[in-house]
Amino acid sequence: MIEKTSENDVNNGNVIPVTLDANFFFERAVRSLDRFQYDKALKNFRKAVEYEPENPVNHCNIAGVLSEMGDYEASNEILTHVLENIDPAMTECHFYMANNFANMESFEEAERSLVTYLEEDANGEFLAESEELMELLQYELDRPAPLIRIKSREGVIEHERARTLLEEGKFTQAINLLEEIVTNTPDFLAAHNNLALAYFYMGRFTKAKECIMEVLKQDSGNLHALCNMAIFLQYEAGREQLDKLLLMLEAIVPFHQEHVFKLATTMGILGRHRIAYGHFRRLLKDEEVGGDAALYHYCAAAASNSGLYTEARRCWQQAIKLDPESVVPRFFLAQLQQAQGDGKTLPPISYNYQLPFQEQLKLWKDNKGSFTEEVANNPLLRSSFFWALRYGDANTKLQVTEALRWIEDEEMSEILQGLLEQQPLQEDKLQEAALLSLQRLIGSGSEEAIPLMEEKEASVLRHKGQPEWKEDWQRVIDQTLGMMDRRYDAAQKKDAELLWKQFVSSLYPDVPFIRHAGGWCAALEYLTAKLHRQPVTYREVAQRYGVSTSMVSRYARRIDDECQIQDNMNNSLSPFTENI
């Protein structure tokens, strides 16, 4: 006979009453999970949701069990419900969904969810797991994820982009991004340091020093900042502060590879070549970086500048083995051999892994100024341009200005505009070179540049003794712009005008007689359309202007020969506009 519980038993405390609430079913679900009893766990988590339907954790627990059971779609449905209807701030749901999508081999959706999690989650609870999943997705999709930022590591992604811009020599863009980072994250010291370097590369010493002072105010022992400060101080009058800082840096023996390299390059730049040589030798013994040809050049430069020519020769020979296509180690090795053959000491060698600046200018002149993409993106070279235009002699400035027209990007346009804005005017030959280069680079891409260019253009033409702009020349512009109206935007029409002015200016005083204005107009419109990647044929423009196709072709080739339009189109760059 089964004994029943009496009311007296309850009143006497012989039976513990059970409170059926969310916690009760939650605890039962957890015990079931410990025993891998997923069906029971799921049943108890659902009962917990019935008691507390607005608690997002209960819903996520159900989603977790469904995921363990392999029902990834149902799991994601619940997670989506949490985000849309219960708690949109529960960003970890995006991470759970990313894992579910990955298990379903829906890698695109997994990537989207994971990127959303990283960009929205402020705590970074699953940051390490996210990095592992990101590697998997990158392998499966065969491309990096389009990740803009990681909220829990504010500024890190942006800082990597800024570092890439610095490495590409795009200092203005890097400065804009780094300034935004340090404003939003004032304690991001690496960003302050790199901002200082970007200013320094552009020759803006005062701003560079301000950035370093901010770093040292927050961390007085920051090695990168101390090294940067030492380099900046050598450009100021007075040696006392620099000498004191150098004594401290000379006594440091850093442990981390990055710090060793920073200190080595700093000692080399500041003329402490023996100390630099010792640090570079340490790096060469590091298997991770010891196979880098550039590192052997750095060590060779330090050795040569210290009078250790045997070691310098050995390092350059090793650099040639590691980088047989580079002309740099061969050039310096030949210089060393020639100096030793003549019984002379080798002049100071730059630590930059590239040919000396004047040697590069000589090569470009021999090649009619053509630049490869690699050179155009060389940060050391671009920095040399900035410095040469600020501090070089007139001849160097002229050579650099002529070279700049072949590096077609926004930053070089700004440099040329700055050169044209200098008051009082520099010598007219330099002004003319800057004007022609700027015409090739920006045209009407910058509205502020147009009045400046027109004013300088008039000044240059007056100096050359050119007469007032002829009516026949202006008629070509007016007729072309009239025909282009409503089919081209203002920027494209301005490009056509600049192209014609460049053509006339380059030919003066041997400008051809304008017998068939319509042919020149058609050729001008044809080339402008091609520059802006608009589909057009000789026949179309010939019919529009009432001239023959052969005339348009002949005149277009004549303009192209003078202004080298086709070369720029082959390089996928317009010589007159900032935007491709």
Q: What is the mean pLDDT of residues 323-342?
A: 87
DSSP-assigned states of every residue in 277-296: HHHHHHHHT-TTTTT-HHHH
Given 3-state DSSP classes, what are the helix, strand and coil percentages for the chain, each rounded to the nearest 5? 70, 0, 30
Q: Is the pLDDT of residue 4 over 50?
A: no
Angstrom distance (rounded) from CA 522 to CA 525: 5
Lookup result for tokens 């010291």? 189
pLDDT for position 89: 86
- Residue 372: band (very low, low, confident or very high) from pLDDT cuts 50, 70, 90: very low
pLDDT for position 81: 92
The larger pLDDT score, comparing residue 167 to residue 177, is at: 177
Angstrom distance (rounded) from CA 486 to CA 498: 19
pLDDT in tens, 111-132: 899 888 888 876 767 777 887 8
Most confident of 10-14, 69-73, 530-534: 69-73
pLDDT for position 451: 42
Q: What is the mean pLDDT of residues 267-284?
A: 91
Whether the link from the prior residue into 424 is cis, omega within 30° of 0, is yes
Mean pLDDT for the chain overall: 76
Lookup result for tokens 């196709």? 549
Phi/psi zone of residue 442: left (φ > 0), alpha (ψ -120 to 50 degrees), beta? alpha
- Non-local (6+) Cβ contacts of 359 within 8 A are 331
SS3 79: helix
Joined together, the tokens standing for residue 485 give 């109206």
pLDDT in tens, 377-386: 555 556 556 6
Residues 169, 381 contacting (CB under 8 angstroms): yes
Q: Is the pLDDT of residue 397 over 80?
A: no
The total of other beta-carbon atoms located within 10 Å of residue 217's CB is 10
pLDDT for position 300: 93
Weakest mean pLDDT among 246-260, 271-285, 401-415, 463-477: 401-415
Cα-based angle 403, 407, 411 (whole degrees, multiple of 5): 115
Q: What is the mean pLDDT of residues 28-51?
A: 83
The larger pLDDT score, comparing residue 237 to residue 456, is at: 237
pLDDT for position 362: 64
Angstrom distance (rounded) from CA 304 to CA 298: 10
Percentage of residues in the chain with pLDDT exceeding 90? 13
Burial of 144 (0-12, 13-18, 19+ CB in 10 A): exposed
The larger pLDDT score, comparing residue 506 to residue 248, is at: 248
Joined together, the tokens standing for residue 62 give 């159900």
Lookup result for tokens 């002829």? 470
Pick the closest to residue 92 from 55, 120, 52, 51 (CA basis).
Answer: 120
Dihedral (Cα; 541, 544, 547, 549), 10-degree rounding: 30
DSSP-assigned states of every residue in 472-535: HHHHHHHHHHHHHTTTS-HHHHHHHHHHHHHHHHHHTTSPPP-S-HHHHHHHHHHHHHHHTT--
Q: What is the mean pLDDT of residues 491-501?
A: 84
pLDDT for position 36: 81
pLDDT in tens, 355-370: 776 666 666 555 544 4
Q: What is the mean pLDDT of residues 305-316?
A: 92
Residues 256, 244 contacting (CB under 8 angstroms): no
pLDDT for position 447: 39
The larger pLDDT score, comparing residue 57 to residue 11, is at: 57
